[in-house]
């Protein structure tokens, strides 16, 4: 869409790895790695991005357990994760 302004730089590197397991692949675990690109330190004079919100779409037929999201936040296993919301069909 030409009306959408895009920055002249690539702000993030994104890597999404789904892991299917269980009988008939009934379980999906996503490993999502989002990182601020080192080139942005020179381009933007910023070593950190600030707050970022990402959405992860969940395939039809799957759901996210609310307790698993709470565990991710409270255990601090996911670095810098402060909030997670479970919306129908996606995680914010």
Q: Answer yes or no: do 18 and 29 share one domain.
A: yes
Reduce the DSSP state of residue 21 to 3 states and report it: strand
Q: What are 12's strand-pairing partners?
A: 36
Sign of torsion, CA 15 11 59 64?
positive
Q: Answer yes or no: do 15 and 41 share one domain.
A: yes
Give the mean model confidence (pLDDT) for residues 62-84: 80
Count of structural domains within the chain: 2
* Domain carrying residue 38: 1-50
The CA-based angle 55-66-33, given to 5 degrees, is: 35
pLDDT of the residue at 90: 67
Q: Answer yes or no: do 39 and 62 share one domain.
A: no
pLDDT of the residue at 19: 92
Residue 40 CA: distances (Å) to CA of 5, 10, 34, 51, 58: 18, 8, 14, 16, 30
Average pLDDT, the chain: 83
Q: Is the pLDDT of residue 17 over 90?
A: yes
Q: Which residue has the higher pLDDT, 74 or 18?
A: 18
Confidence of residue 15 (pLDDT cuts 50, 70, 90): very high
Give the mean model confidence (pLDDT) for residues 28-47: 85
Distance, in Å, from the CA atom of 92 to the CA atom of 36, rounded to the nearest integer, reads: 19
């Amino acid at each position: 869409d030409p009306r959408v302004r895009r920055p002249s730089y690539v702000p993030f590197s994104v890597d999404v790895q789904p892991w299917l397991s269980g009988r008939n692949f009934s379980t999906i675990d996503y490993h999502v790695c989002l990182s601020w690109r080192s080139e942005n330190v020179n381009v933007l004079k910023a070593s950190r991005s600030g707050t970022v919100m990402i959405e992860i779409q969940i395939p039809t037929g799957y759901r996210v357990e609310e307790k698993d999201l709470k565990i991710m936040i409270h255990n601090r296993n996911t670095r810098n994760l402060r909030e997670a919301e479970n919306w129908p069909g996606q995680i914010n």
